[in-house]
Copies of this chain bind each other. A is one copy, B any other.
Amino acid sequence: MAADQVFLLAVSLLSALHMGYLAHCVGRSRLKHSILPPAVTGPAEFERTFRAHQNCVEGYLPFLVTLWVSGLFFHEGLAALGGLVFIAARQMYFNGYVTSAKNRLPGFYLTLAVWIILSATGAIGILHHFLDEYLDINLRKMLFKS
């Protein structure tokens, strides 16, 4: 396995390090605004920073799952590329959200677009695999060699 999905694994590792970095940013925001754990309320900027990170946590596993399904059943390189764009979009979202709730939107929409593409390509790939394997229907041939 190690050698087979090395690009997906490299992007997964990068995303894990990025999540660690975002957690670190929340810690710095705690210091800046003197918010001691376990408090999660305080000045508006801290609350936006805290929530930005929480939303990244919520979306992280759904992202990883679609990254892998898309990479295994559609195209590993494209999925890995999508993963890199997703991580950059998350950083945009986080940076934007820290400044104002409205500024989170560009990063949010880019994140959502990448996630929908990974989900759709993963779903198409799995569907193609099922049809080919169990019903002997080859979608690719039907579409491109008719």
Contact residues of A with B, CB < 8 Å? 1-6, 9-10, 12-13, 15-17, 19-20, 23, 36-38, 40, 47-48, 50-53, 57-62, 64-66, 68-69, 72-73, 97, 101, 104, 115, 119, 122-123, 126, 129-130, 133
| Residues A72 and B2 in contact in the complex (CB < 8 Å), given A38-B47, A61-B19 | yes
Nearest-neighbor residue (CB-CB) of A72 within chain B: B2
Interchain CA distance A5-B73 in the complex, whole Å? 11
> Which of B19, B48, B115, B129 touches A2 (beta carbons < 8 Å)?
B129
Interface contact B129-A3, CB-CB below 8 Å:
yes
Given A9-B68, A12-B68: 5 more A-B contacts, CB < 8 Å:
A1-B1, A13-B65, A13-B66, A37-B104, A38-B101
